Amino acid sequence: MPNPTSLSGLEKLTNVRFKNKDLLYQALTHRSAIHERAKNGHNERLEFLGDAVLQLISTEYLFHLSDRPEGELTNWRSALVQGDHLCEVAKELRLGDYLFLSRGEEASGGRKKDSTLANAVEAFIGALYLDQGIDTARTFVHTFILTHLKQLIAKGKHRDEKSVFQEMAQEKTGITPTYTTLSESGPDHSKLFVCAVFIGKEKIAIGEGNTKQKAEQDAAKSALKVKGWRE
């Protein structure tokens, strides 16, 4: 577990100095470490808030950036806020080095897990919003997330996994994939959904996330790999 004093390095890299350090610690505390850091709690509530703040800032940015149709702007936003992109942002910030994890989670490679890193970015945004307001959060999002839009579009990342998998499945099998929620657990502010994607009666893959949409996207992402259809 990192030394709390080392968080000053993250503040320097992000050009943000938190007024309430407890918010920063909470944003970087994985749920596995809650017993070690009971004072501040884990980061899932901040992740919930940060996701909404990120969606708002991204939507506002795209609205003023272009007069493209709603559907196209929605796809651009998806590319900006999807887990894969946020994971890359986390790696750019070396966010994994600053996470508070349990020993078990540490041993299992928790610092490099894509979902953990992406969630930490959202939690950081949530903490920043509470600590310093929307303007500072907007500056962070513009600097580290929105600047990648052109590269994401060039790579086709604005085409979300569900859309790609549906197109590929229809092309290769003539069948439209369906999704089923296998389980739903946790309190309202910290849900975990597990979903499966099917082609006909065949279960192709499962995925998880803190919303049904994210779980379905995760399932579609896995299904593309299972089928070898990844572009």
The residues that are catalytic are: 51, 122
Structure tokens at 168: 């590929």
DSSP annotation string for 180-228: EEEEEES-GGG-EEEEEEEETTEEEEEEEESSHHHHHHHHHHHHHHHHT
Structure tokens at 181: 């929620």
Do residues 116 and 16 touch, judged by C-beta distance below 8 A? no
Residue recorded with tokens 């749920």: 31
Cα(149)–Cα(183) distance, rounded to whole angstroms? Answer: 34
Strand partners for 198: 178, 203
Phi and psi angles of residue 208, each rounded to the nearest 5 degrees, phi first:
-140, 160
Q: Residue 22: which H helix or E strand, with range?
A: helix 21-27
